[in-house]
Structure 1
Amino acid sequence: MFSKFKKKKNNVLSLSAPISGRCVSLSEVPDEVFSSKMMGDGVAIQPVSNKLFAPTAGKVTFIAETKHAVGFVTTDGYELLIHVGLDTVALEGDGFSVSVEVNQEVQAGEELLSFNHTFIESDHLNLITPIILLENKNISIEQLAVGMEVVANQTIIINCTQN
């Protein structure tokens, strides 16, 4: 009878690093779209590996035609964009290999895509990889790994709580 007066419990969603490397603040990304948080809040990782994994369970909602970005909705309904590199769209998909399809359900740690690190860097492109929570006005984001070396599928980089 009094259940509507009970305090609603806030669920926390933890996102693991989708790629190994150094985690940095979005303000350090040398692209204003990301550094100004125009698309949303999050972190970025300067990768040392070449495989990108799902940071939590969810569904792939978007794969860029040029294979450099993946859109993702978590099972809790959070929308993510993971964007490998800056200006990598110019490669038109060369150097990238996608492992999933749009509308595919994935588990945390499942490979989303891989890329040829050497090939992309030989074009003098920055591989910094922003992980953005889109539409995050009602979300509190706790950045846990900024300034740290992170390991894909092991290090928790962000906790999200619905306000």
Structure 2
Amino acid sequence: MFKNLFGKKETSETLLAPITGKLVNMEDVPDEMFSKKLLGDGLAIEPTEGTVVAPVDGEVVQLSDTKHAVGIQSKNGLELLIHIGLETVALKGEGFEAHVSQGAKVKAGDKLVTFDLPFINEKADSIISPIVITNFVEVESLKKSEETNLVAGQSTLMTVSRK
């Protein structure tokens, strides 16, 4: 259950866009791991800028060695995966710079990772970046943004209600 710092149960949580760019439905991500929602549901963004910010207040619970993926647990227990591009693990960290480490406490809008957008766009299978709720079995409802163009740290990406 969601619990805030005062012990009260929270029923919903708003996630801000972690990346500036064009909204892409999860079903349209050109990778079956994401499009078939094998890791969970969410949305994706086709970046127009190379900065990833925290979508919620929480903790960095995972930062891949190659810096292409960040896992965040919100203060209310929502587990999120931000995956920059597709098949970007093959770049072995080239083109990525982490600004946080695992265990870091973050506030919505804090810079997590920067990436060289032209380089990633040229070298990766796709620049489309999925944002996945990995503990989706705990989600009761998900209201996805209807905006086309999102601004990192400002636009609402999703509003999630937990069971």
TM over 0.5: yes
| Greater mean deviation of Cα atoms: 120-129 or 135-144 | 120-129
Q: Pick the structure with greater CA Rg.
A: 1
Structure 1 residue identity aligned to 2:125: L
What does the per-residue CA deviation read over 1:83-133, in whole Å, with 9 as the maximum and x for residues that have no partner? 000011010000000000100100000000000011112225311110000
Aligned mates of 2:124, 2:57 — CA distance in 1: 33
Give the match for residue 105 of structure 2: 105
Q: CA RMSD in A?
A: 1.4
Give the match for residue 88 of structure 1: 88
Runs of 4+ residues over 6 Å off in structure 1: none
Deviation at 1:76, TM superposition (A): 0.4
Aligned mates of 2:114, 2:15 — CA distance in 1: 19
Aligned mates of 1:121, 1:136 — CA distance in 2: 29
Deviation at 1:9, TM superposition (A): 7.0
**SS of alignment partner, residue 137 of structure 1:** helix
Deviation at 1:143, TM superposition (A): 0.7
Aligned mates of 1:11, 1:73 — CA distance in 2: 16
Deviation at 1:45, TM superposition (A): 0.3
Contact 2:60–2:71 (8 Å) recurs in 1: yes
Structure 2, unmatched stretches of 5+, are 1-7
**SS of alignment partner, residue 49 of structure 2:** coil
Aligned mates of 1:35, 1:12 — CA distance in 2: 24
Deviation at 1:10, TM superposition (A): 5.4
Structure 2 residue identity aligned to 1:14: T
Give the match for residue 145 of structure 2: 144
Contact 2:54–2:108 (8 Å) recurs in 1: yes
Structure 2 residue identity aligned to 1:29: V
| Greater mean deviation of Cα atoms: 123-132 or 148-157 | 123-132
Aligned mates of 1:102, 1:9 — CA distance in 2: 26
Deviation at 1:141, TM superposition (A): 1.1
Give the match for residue 63 of structure 1: 63
Aligned mates of 1:74, 1:136 — CA distance in 2: 13
| Greater mean deviation of Cα atoms: 24-33 or 113-122 | 113-122
Give the match for residue 5 of structure 2: none
Structure 1 residue identity aligned to 2:107: Q
Structure 1, unmatched stretches of 5+, are 1-7
What does the per-residue CA deviation read over 1:50-81, in whole Å, with 9 as the maximum and x for residues that have no partner? 00000010000001111100001000000000
Give the match for residue 74 of structure 1: 74
Structure 2 residue identity aligned to 1:25: N
